[in-house]
Each structure stands twice: as C-alpha cells, then as structure tokens.
Structure 1
Amino acid sequence: MFFTPFLTIAQYLYNIDPIAFPSFIPGGTQTTGLVDLLALDNSGKKFIALERSFSLGAL
C-alpha cells in the first residue's frame, strides 16, 4: 500500500465575526469560531464559510 501525503499549497487568513449575543452572566463562557470552510471551485478564490457563536446565558 502506497501513501501519498497531502501537500499544503496555500494558507488563508480568515477574520471571524464577533460573538452574536454577549453573555448576561458575569464571567459567562463566550466563544466563536470557524466550523467549516468549503471551496466552491479549484481557483482558490471562492469559499463558503460557516461560523458559530455560543454565549452562556444569552437569549
């Protein structure tokens, strides 16, 4: 069995949006992040980004 490792051909900087709803609990957990990044074509110029945001105690 032959294994060919994947080669990194590019890196992209992606700025995520701020937390959607801040926590109303003092010191409550807040986090946001990029869940998935999908390429729309092979040009490396078009992507769909899926972000998530969580705040403990948010409405």
Structure 2
Amino acid sequence: MRSFSYQGLKNYLSTLEEFSEVEVVVLESPSRYYRVYLNDLQDLKRLTPTAIFNVNCHEIV
C-alpha cells in the first residue's frame, strides 16, 4: 500500500501505460474515508484534491 497526494497520484497514474481499474482508498480526514475505483485518469477529477490517497500498487490491473 502506498500513499499519495492528489498530484502524486495523478503523476503515478500518468506513468502507467494502461490500466483498467485501480482501487483507491480516499482519506479526507481521520474519521472520513471511502473506497473508489478509477478506470481512467479523468476519473481522478471527481475526487477532492486535499485528501490522501492509498493505493495497493501491486494489485493494479
């Protein structure tokens, strides 16, 4: 599991040649978090840029 800022996650996903689905745990605060699935880099625009994003880099499909 790796943690990213919004820009860090955007840069990381940009380096991948192709992905079909990435599971991301979005941590907005210590008491508010949720899980989303990104199918495209454009999906990142729907998320809040101030959160911390956790991704299991070994499970990217």
Q: Comparing both chains, which one has the higher relative contact order based on Cα–Cα distances under 8 Å and sequence gaps of 6 or more? A: 2
Give the alignment's TM-score, normalised by structure 1: 0.27
Give the alignment's TM-score, normalised by structure 2: 0.26
More helix by share: 2
